Amino acid sequence: MTALVSSSRSIAAFLPTFLPTLALVPGLIAGILPAQAAQPQIYRETVELPLHREKGNCPKTLTLAVESRPYEGGSEHTVVLKTSAIAAGPAKYMDSKPRVVIFGAPLKPQYKNCVGWIDSAKNPSPLYNVWLQFGSVYFRFDLDAVKNLPDSAITYQKIVNGEPKLRYAIAD
């Protein structure tokens, strides 16, 4: 018990010197920490995908809306294939696996006989594959199409306003 009291008395002796320094801590912390966390930078772009026509009446391009958000250690991307201009109805899931998803939508009458696909030389990413055949448009997203993307995942997939939408993350 005596050791406790003597220890308390020794701390008490330093308190008058220590308290003014302790009062500076909130100001120091405020100077070090930002007042508000920085908002992540989001990049949005609309990509026109040229379509290679094999036969029939085909649209010249398809539109892909892409939103990217880089963060420390990777990035997140949201992709929407804008099918409303060419589709007669809403997209539907054709197949869905952990790293691959395929959507399909019926084509408008003027494009029903189209057989075509994205021109591979002008495709912005091998992850996206779009083709028109059998009276439908198909959108395949495949994380395994690019080697060395093991730390990646499809984090969201849904049909929004009749159009296929998905989100994927890639770690550095």
Residues of the chain with pLDDT under 50: 1-31, 33
- Residue 135 and residue 100 share a domain: yes
- pLDDT (0 to 100) of residue 66: 94
37 occurs within a structural domain: no
Domain that holds residue 24: 2-32
- Residue 75 and residue 28 share a domain: no
* Apex 25 CA angle, 22 and 31, nearest 5: 160
* Contact yes or no for 54/112 (Cβ under 8 A): no
- Residue 24 and residue 84 share a domain: no
- pLDDT (0 to 100) of residue 23: 45
- Residue 74 and residue 21 share a domain: no
- pLDDT (0 to 100) of residue 16: 46
DSSP secondary structure string, 80-130? Answer: EEE-TTTBSS--EEEEE-SSEEEEEEEBPGGGTT-EEEE-GGG-S-TTEEE
Residue-wise pLDDT for 101-122, tens only, equals 999 999 999 999 999 999 878 7
- pLDDT (0 to 100) of residue 39: 67
